[in-house]
Every structure is written in structure tokens, then in C-alpha cells.
């Protein structure tokens, strides 16, 4: 059986959310978009679901059981917890009670050793671990034996650059083991800034066990909508170029859509012209486009302030050894290019971490907690979950409980499993 892939933080942007059901959503929710529609419950009136800690894994001072940097977590059907500890360059497996059972790999350059764990997963009784540092994928038996190491690095041209007279290339390397025994690729090394308003054709190639390219599984077309103006800075003693991204006009409305195995989940929002009220439409669509769940909510739009825009412009202008006049000029250019809506988006992209539960991060307007809108598919229950704001994020869920990575006051990471207090259980 093939398990889902479990990716650790990447070096390139990944478009994880796709809107393949947007047309169906527009039709199904047409009645909800009428100005005369009932405004619905205020989002602050939704039930805040309790979280009861069941298990905590980690240690403050024991490197064997404690964590330095957690890449990703996957919970197996039998309850075992698989963790990519990317600082130690190893995959750890814990029991459902938090006992360390076994590890795979270590830091180094030899067989079964890693330089930078990129991703991992299981296909049948084979563990595969993708290592972007070595540009290879290592296959392990569940007993820990190294079965094979597939190494390759292929430079692929993805078209010309409209801003600079040189071709653009990406580095393709082995990534994930497939059930047919081939290794599909992923890529690093593409500069999105150099693809001003153009399409990039990114091939997903297939490697055999010797590292040879044997086929192309698909070609992914990606468009970068932002264009960039290059501004020169400096004088005869030195200088350079800075990119100022021209943003498309922004609106106080939008839709975030998450594609699921059977249909999709969407959150649609819009703010009134005066910014006094906002409306959310939360919907679950079946594969055929039929709406199986819909709920309208109100929210309070949070204004985008000049201070907030100034901070973005200052970050984009960057530092470096520039004169004050150059720094001011770059800041002003970045500030003028910003086209943000009058109000912050009320939600982030939805995330499905397992168990038929969709988690959607709400606008972080409360400094002490991060608030999540959670939807459970089997009971069609909607509620709010509050997590500590300091470096806490979701990892895996079975619907009734969820694993969360947290950092303590010393920034040491821990894994904790919490039971969710669904009101319908």
C-alpha cells in the first residue's frame, strides 16, 4: 500500500492549494452571494473546541529523545509516529505512547546517510527518504537495511528569461518512490523572480534505480503573475540591481479552495464597502460539484494600516551596503508598487492533515493565540480551535485527535497529541 507523502520544509515555493472546483463553487453558492442573504452567525460565536493533551514527545536536554528541528510527522494506521528530525538527519519512529522504537539514517555522505532530508514516505514495506543535499533517494527496509541509493542530478531548461539574456534552468533530482518501482523527481534552483509574468514548463521525470531518466510523468505549467522592474543602485565604487515587484490590483474578496480526495472544501469571503462587516461562506463540495455543506458566517474586517505596508516595503527594499539616498529610493519604489486590499484576508489557505478534518488558519488578530476554523467531514461540525501562537503548527490528525509541534520558552521543539473536544462525539 502506498502512503501519502510527507514533505519537510522546501527551498522553493510550492503551490499546495488548487482551485479546480471554482466554477462549480460559483454556481452552487450563487444564492449565498446575494446581498439579501441572511448574514449568518458571527465567527466569534462558534464553539471553541477543547484540546486535552494525551501524549508529549521530546526532551529538554536528551538529544536521543528530544528534538532539534522537526521537519515533518506522519502517523501510521497502527499509531506509530514517524518524524523527520532534520537537524540530526534521521527518521525516528515512536510508539503511540511516545516511546522511541527505531531510527533510520544519520548525518554523513555514505550509504544510508543524509545531508539534508527533503521528504519521506512508505511504499509497502519500503521506506524512501529524499535527500536534497546529496540529490538522491535512499530506500530502506523496515528493519533498517539500506536497499538501494538512487542518485541523479539533471539540469533542465525551462525557457528564456524576459529580463536577462540567459536561459533559465532547474535542477531535477530523485524524490519519491512509486508503487511501480520508479522514482519520480522534484526540483530546486528555479528563480521565480526571473520569470516575470511568464509560463514555466516544469517536467516531472521518472528515474530508474540506476538514476537514469526513463520517462516524463507530466509537465507542470506554472505562471508567475508578478512582474518586476529592475532598479539600479550604487555609484562608481560599487552597486547592483534590485527587483521591484508590480502587484496586481487587490480586492477585499476572494476564495481559498482545497482539493480533497472526493470533492473540495472552500472558504469564500468579502468585506463591505465601508469595511464595517465581512462575510464568510464555508462550503464542502462533492466530486460532482453538489454542495454537501454550507454555512455563512460574519467577521470583523481588520484594516491594512500604513505601518503594515511600510514594514513590507522596508523588508523588500532590504539592507546591504547602500547609501541612505539609495535605500530611501528603493523603499519608495517598493512602497509605491504595493497594491493591497483595504483589509487583511480573514483566512489563510485550508489544510487537510488527515482524519477528514480541514483546518483553516484565521487572520492572526489575537497576539496570544493562533485561531483555526476546523471542519469535520463525517459529522459536518464547524468549530474554533485555539493554539499557542509561538511556533506551533499542525502535523497529523485522525479526526478525533491532532499532533502539534510546539516550542517551549527556550525554543526547544516538542510533539504533543491532543484530543479534540468535538461536541457531537
DSSP annotation of 33: G
pLDDT above 50 for 223: yes
**DSSP structure class, residue 363:** P
pLDDT at residue 171 tops 70: yes
Asked if 57 contacts 94 with a C-beta cutoff of 8 angstroms, the reply is yes
Q: Can you tell me the mean pLDDT for 169-182?
A: 90
Confidence of residue 396 (pLDDT cuts 50, 70, 90): confident
Residue 309, classified by CB atoms within 10 Å of its CB into exposed (0-12), middle (13-18) or buried (19+), is middle
pLDDT at 302: 92
Burial class of residue 13 (count of CB atoms within 10 Å of its CB; 0-12, 13-18, 19+): exposed
Question: What pLDDT is recorded for position 158?
Answer: 64
- In DSSP terms, which residues pair with 106 in a beta bridge? 113
Q: Per the structure block, which three cell numbers stand in for 388?
A: 499557542
Greater pLDDT, 167 or 12 = 167
Ramachandran area for residue 387 (φ above 0: left; ψ -120 to 50: alpha; else beta) = beta
Sheet holding 70-75, edge to edge: 70-75, 81-85, 90-94, 100-104
pLDDT at 201 over 90: no
Q: Mean per-residue pLDDT for 415-423?
A: 91
Predicted TM-score (pTM) above 0.85:
no
Q: What is the mean pLDDT of residues 360-383?
A: 85
pLDDT band at 272 (very low <50, low <70, confident <90, very high): very high
Q: Which are the contacts of 174, defined by CB distance < 8 A and separation ≥ 6?
A: 130, 135, 136, 137, 150, 151, 152, 183, 185, 207, 211
pLDDT higher than threshold 50 for residue 156: yes
> The domain at 6-304+340-420 falls in which architecture?
7 Propeller (2.130)
- At residue 367 the predicted structure's pLDDT band, cuts being 50, 70 and 90, is low
- Measured CA to CA, the distance from residue 9 to residue 119 in angstroms comes to 9
Strands (E), 237-290: 238-246, 253-260, 263-271, 278-285
Distance CA 178, CA 122 (A): 9
The pLDDT assigned to 154 comes to: 81
pLDDT band at 366 (very low <50, low <70, confident <90, very high): low
The larger pLDDT score, comparing residue 87 to residue 160, is at 87
Average pLDDT of the chain, as a whole number: 81
4-37, pLDDT tens digit by residue?
444 443 333 333 333 333 444 444 444 444 333 3
More confident residue, 285 or 219: 285
Share of the chain above pLDDT 90, in %: 48
**Residue 375 pairs with which residues in a beta bridge?**
358, 382
The total of other beta-carbon atoms located within 10 Å of residue 132's CB is: 20
Reply yes or no on whether the pLDDT at 228 is more than 70: no
- pLDDT tens per residue, range 30-71: 444 433 334 689 999 999 999 999 999 998 888 777 899 998
Indicate the pLDDT class of residue 72, thresholds 50, 70 and 90: confident
Per-domain residue ranges of the chain: 6-304+340-420
**Spatial distance between the Cα atoms of 85 and 132, rounded to a whole number of angstroms:** 15
Residue 65: CB partners within 8 Å, gap ≥ 6?
57, 58, 59, 100
Q: How confident is the model at residue 159 (pLDDT cuts 50, 70, 90)?
A: low
Between 349 and 192, name the one with better pLDDT. 349
User: Residues in the chain, how many?
Assistant: 425
| Cα gap 196→245, rounded to integer Å | 9
User: Can you name the residues that pair with 215 across neighbouring β-strands?
Assistant: 206
Please give the pLDDT value at position 16.
33
- Tens of pLDDT along 286-344? 999 999 999 999 999 999 999 999 999 998 887 667 888 888 889 999 999 888 899 99
Amino acid at each position: 500500500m502506498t502512503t501519502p507523502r510527507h514533505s519537510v520544509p522546501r527551498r522553493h515555493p510550492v503551490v499546495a492549494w488548487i482551485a479546480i472546483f471554482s466554477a462549480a463553487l460559483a454556481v452552487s453558492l450563487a444564492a449565498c452571494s446575494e446581498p439579501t442573504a441572511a448574514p449568518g452567525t458571527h465567527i466569534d460565536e462558534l464553539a471553541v473546541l477543547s484540546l486535552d493533551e494525551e501524549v508529549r514527545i521530546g526532551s529538554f536536554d536528551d538529544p536521543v529523545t528530544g528534538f532539534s528541528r522537526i521537519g515533518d510527522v506522519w502517523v501510521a494506521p497502527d499509531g506509530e509516529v514517524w518524524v523527520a528530525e532534520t537537524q540530526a538527519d534521521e527518521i525516528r519512529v515512536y510508539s503511540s505512547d511516545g516511546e522511541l522504537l527505531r531510527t533510520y539514517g544519520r548525518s554523513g555522505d555514505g550509504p544510508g546517510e543524509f545531508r539534508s532530508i527533503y521528504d519521506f514516505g512508505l511504499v509497502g514495506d519500503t521506506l524512501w527518504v529524499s535527500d536534497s543535499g546529496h540529490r538522491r533517494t535512499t530506500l530502506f527496509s523496515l528493519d533498517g537495511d539500506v536497499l538501494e541509493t538512487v542518485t541523479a542530478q539533471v539540469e533542465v531548461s525551462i525557457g528564456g528569461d524576459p529580463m536577462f539574456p540567459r536561459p533559465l534552468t532547474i535542477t531535477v533530482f530523485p524524490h519519491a518512490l512509486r508503487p511501480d518501482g520508479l522514482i519520480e523527481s522534484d526540483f530546486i534552483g528555479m528563480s521565480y523572480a526571473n520569470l516575470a509574468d511568464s509560463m514555466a514548463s516544469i517536467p516531472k521525470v521518472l528515474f530508474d534505480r540506476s538514476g537514469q531518466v526513463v520517462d516524463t510523468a507530466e509537465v507542470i505549467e506554472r505562471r508567475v503573475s508578478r512582474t518586476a522592474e529592475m532598479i539600479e543602485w550604487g555609484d562608481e565604487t560599487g552597486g547592483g540591481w534590485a527587483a521591484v515587484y508590480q502587484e496586481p490590483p487587490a480586492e477585499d474578496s476572494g476564495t481559498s479552495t482545497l482539493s480533497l480526495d472526493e470533492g473540495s472544501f472552500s472558504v469564500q469571503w468579502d468585506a463591505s464597502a465601508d469595511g464595517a462587516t465581512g462575510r464568510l461562506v464555508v462550503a464542502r463540495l462533492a466530486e460532482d460539484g453538489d454542495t454537501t455543506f454550507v454555512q455563512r458566517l460574519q467577521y470583523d474586517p481588520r484594516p491594512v494600516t500604513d505601518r503594515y505596508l511600510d514594514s513590507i516595503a522596508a523588508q523588500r527594499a532590504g539592507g546591504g551596503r547602500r547609501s541612505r539616498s539609495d535605500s530611501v529610493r528603493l523603499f519608495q519604489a517598493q512602497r509605491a508598487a504595493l497594491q493591497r486590499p483595504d483589509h487583511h484576508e480573514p483566512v489563510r489557505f485550508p489544510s487537510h492533515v488527515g482524519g477528514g478534518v480541514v483546518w483553516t488558519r484565521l487572520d492572526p488578530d489575537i497576539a496570544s493565540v493562533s485561531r483555526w476554523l476546523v471542519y469535520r467531514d463525517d459529522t459536518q461540525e464547524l468549530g474554533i480551535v485555539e493554539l499557542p501562537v509561538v511556533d506551533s503548527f499542525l502535523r497529523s490528525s485522525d479526526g478525533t485527535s491532532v499532533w502539534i509541534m510546539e516550542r517551549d520558552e527556550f525554543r526547544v521543539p516538542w510533539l504533543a497529541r491532543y484530543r479534540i473536544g468535538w461536541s457531537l462525539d
